[in-house]
Amino acid sequence: MNARLSQPSSIRLRREVAEALAWNKPVVALESTLIAHGLPRPDNLQLARELESIVREEGGVPATVGVIRGEPVVGLDDAELERIATTDVPKLSVRDLGPAIACGSDGATTVASTALLAARAGVRMFATGGLGGVHRGASESFDESADLTTLSRTPIGVVCAGVKSILDVGATLERLETLSISVVGYRTRQFPGFLVADSGFPLDWCVDTPAEAASVLKSQLHDGAVIIANAVAREDQLDPEVHWRVLDQGLSALREQNIRGKAITPFLLDFFRTQTGGASVEVNLNLVRSNARLAAQIAAAL
């Protein structure tokens, strides 16, 4: 059974999620784009269920976010998870939510739209893999993820492994500062590089425990997000030399094939998968599992 929010009326909550929020129990939002577009079938559905199990192991309630028949849902049930994982659904960022709702479409929510819907439902923690950010060459293309501007006005804690290393990490960190989005390392003073533990950029702040991370969230004086940067374990990271070599090759392939816009990220992620013999996918899986566990621990501390 499901419960509907009175404000806003357009978001449906799974009953378990609604009850957890009402009783101030820990809830962790999870995105559905990773399920629909980030992994091959049937691995995607298996991971979706595994992430929810990890949150439960830490005493939290999982709330995977998506759009079903034009209805935004915070807390997909298992049948809806399977629907998202096994059918071809569009990727929905914030700007796509209105058209998808009006058209009665299914859809997988990105970091931006997941954060927005979860925060409006009252969820305070969100676990994902890597954030979007400023693309290389953005000074000419103006290609920047909606994740950044959305998080600047969305009060939620986001556990991630940094931003995708195919992006311009330095420019992304500059934009995060401009947008007043707090970035805190979890047991690290170096900003993570998604598939590698260290992007090469230092951080001003770090915390060592879930309770300390929760304290940062409680201390926020504005409605922006707090990014908790949780680096992939060094023993699990992609070999840094392989990572940077494959990235250079992938960027060259982009230019040669004149790939632009939305096609860049999926192309490069698939390029990494093929060139590393699937090793990049294993790293991605490990870091997402770690982020879900940490997010649940922080949610419990909140």
Give the active site residues: 31, 164
**71: β partners:** 68
Q: Measured between alpha carbons, how far is 127 from 111 in angstroms, rounded to an integer? A: 9
Q: Give the other-Cβ count within 10 Å of 74's Cβ.
A: 27
**Cis before 210 (ω within 30):** no
Phi-psi region of 69 (alpha: psi -120 to 50; beta: other; left: phi over 0): left
For 145-180, b/e burial (b = at least 16 CB within 10 A) is bbbbebbbbbbbbbbbbbbbbbbbbebbbebbeeee
Q: Sign of dihedral through CA atoms 214, 219, 223, 228?
A: negative
**Cis before 266 (ω within 30):** no
Do the strands 12-14 and 71-74 form a parallel or antiparallel pair, or are they unpaired?
parallel
- For residue 241, what are the CA distances in angstroms to 195, 196, 249, 281? 12, 10, 12, 17
Q: Where are the beta strands (DSSP E) in the chain?
A: 2-4, 12-14, 27-30, 61-68, 71-74, 91-92, 107-109, 125-127, 157-160, 182-186, 206-207, 226-229
Pair of tokens at residue 134: 């400023």
Position of tokens 């990235």?
247
